[in-house]
Amino acid sequence: FAVAALVAAVYLASVTEYLGRRLAADAKGRDGAIAAYAVGCITTLGAALTIAFERGMLTVSLALLVAGIAWVETRRPVAALRPTALAVAAVVIARVVWDPRIVGDDLGTTILFNPLLYGYGMPTLCFAYAAWRFGRTPGDPRPVPIFEALAVIFTALTATVEVHHAMNGGDLFAPVSSLAEQSLITMVMMAISLGLNWLGARRPSPVMIWGVPLFGGFGLIMAAIGLLIVNNPVLSGEPIDGGAFDGKLLLGYLGPAVLALLITGLARRRKDLPRYAVPIAATVGGLLVAMWATLAVRAGWHSGNLGWGGVEEGELYAYSAVWLVLGLVVLTVGFVAASRTVRTVAAVIVAGVVAKVFLIDTSGLTGPLRALSFIGLGGVLVAIGLAYQTVLRRQRKGLPEG
């Protein structure tokens, strides 16, 4: 049956070519006849592929059919080809939804180089090629952003399913298993946002414009909920055995924090993004850094379970010191960037440390540590006062604040 369908496809293709060559350009019904045979050829070829292949190879062959239609359209510009390509793309999507594992129970546990790589990666490449090809030839422009969106979505799916597969021993239907997995998926979303901004600067498109805040916002939401709450080792009980510089903590918080701060800088440059994008991204990035510092202190004194429990005297002092250093770093950034909002955040951090020193450290610390806590806090407050005096003098002289 596959051979019969393939023969029929070859016949319909030859008729399409014959009509294109023999009929005059102004012949009545010419375009409709050519379109009918062209669509019939593609449909029959798709039937042959469906009969001959299954599972992973069927997904790849149907995706290649989309790219093939885009290539044919550059040489035989039949108006019906673009809608037909969209219909085949819909079949590819339905195929992936029907079996996200691509090859069913035979997926296996091999990391990266498995059927997911070509089952999701090939449609990604084919959709991207179709968007590029259709965008460079005359014709209905409406399918172009659709294929661009499909290429972006399948890029995210490829990275996400590969991460999930690797972190769960090949079980694609398992829930998110760890802080590291949640962090990797979060970074995928943020990285796609930054990548779309880079592409949009070179090839403006509605997909690039709207994709930046959508993927960036989704990544920030995943960071705020997934990393700070759901998969936080203090709340989830996930063991941390590597001390203050445990790899899970570094990957789980500092990696997403860097990308969140890059998104902050991007949002400051993009005037078309909402005004609240900058403070939200900066807040999430700052909270991730603060959470890493706090958990690093906790892991330095407690191996394994970081859940609520006893706090040692040195640990209590370390929290004050680390948070105070963070406040100074944020304050420095506020001075350099001449941002009142950032300086306000620094003031809140320092005020929180002051409250902790007077309300908690006075009763929780004894001897030299109590004295160091007050001396260090006093020295920092004096330094902050001197810094603000310098800023005020520059403002009076009309010099730049930063």
Q: At what angle do helices 255-269 and 179-202 cross, to 10 degrees?
A: 30
Cβ atoms 108, 170 nearer than 8 A: yes
Q: Is the pLDDT of residue 207 over 50?
A: yes
CA–CA distance, 302 with 120 (Å, rounded to integer): 42
Q: Which two tokens stand for residue 177?
A: 């298993």
CA–CA distance, 152 with 124 (Å, rounded to integer): 8
What's the mean pLDDT when you consider all of the chain? 86
Q: Which of 126, 68, 131, 123 has the alpha carbon at shortest distance from 92?
A: 123
Q: Is the pLDDT of residue 231 over 90?
A: yes
pLDDT in tens, 256-271: 999 998 998 888 888 8
| pLDDT, greater one: 200 or 114 | 114
- Please, which pLDDT band fits residue 399 given cuts at 50, 70 and 90? low
Of 73-87, 155-169, 227-241, give the range with the top mean pLDDT.
155-169
Q: Is the pLDDT of residue 379 over 60?
A: yes
User: For every residue of the chain, which 3-state class applies, written as one string?
Assistant: CHHHHHHHHHHHHHHHHHHHHHCCCCCCCHHHHHHHHHHHHHHHHHHHHHHHCCHHHHHHHHHHHHHHHHHHHHHCCCCCHHHHHHHHHHHHHHHHHHCCCCCHHHCCCCCCCCHHHHHHHHHHHHHHHHHHHHHCCCCCCCHHHHHHHHHHHHHHHHHHHHHHHHHCCCCCCCCCCCHHHHHHHHHHHHHHHHHHHHHHHHCCCHHHHHHHHHHHHHHHHHHHHHHHHHCCHHHHCCCECCHHHCHHHHHHHHHHHHHHHHHHHHHHHCCCCCCCHHHHHHHHHHHHHHHHHHHHHHHHHCCECCCCCCCCHHHHHHHHHHHHHHHHHHHHHHHHCCCHHHHHHHHHHHHHHHHHHHHHHHHHCCHHHHHHHHHHHHHHHHHHHHHHHHHHHHHHHCCCCC
381-399 residues labelled b (16+ CB within 10 A) or e (exposed): eeebeeeeeebeeeeeeee
Q: Say what the pLDDT of residue 94 is.
A: 95
Segment 211-222 mean pLDDT: 94
Q: Is the pLDDT of residue 402 over 50?
A: no
Q: Is the pLDDT of residue 334 over 80?
A: no
Segment 92-110 mean pLDDT: 92
Q: Say what the pLDDT of residue 392 is.
A: 63
Q: Is the pLDDT of residue 181 over 80?
A: yes
Whether the model pTM is above 0.95: no
Beta bridge partners of 39: none
pLDDT in tens, 110-159: 999 999 999 999 999 999 999 999 999 888 899 999 999 999 999 999 99
- Please, which pLDDT band fits residue 328 given cuts at 50, 70 and 90? confident
Q: Say what the pLDDT of residue 256 is.
A: 95
Q: Is the pLDDT of residue 400 over 60?
A: no
Segment 273-291 mean pLDDT: 87
Q: Say what the pLDDT of residue 166 is.
A: 94
- Please, which pLDDT band fits residue 49 given cuts at 50, 70 and 90? confident
Q: Which two tokens stand for residue 215?
A: 């993927």
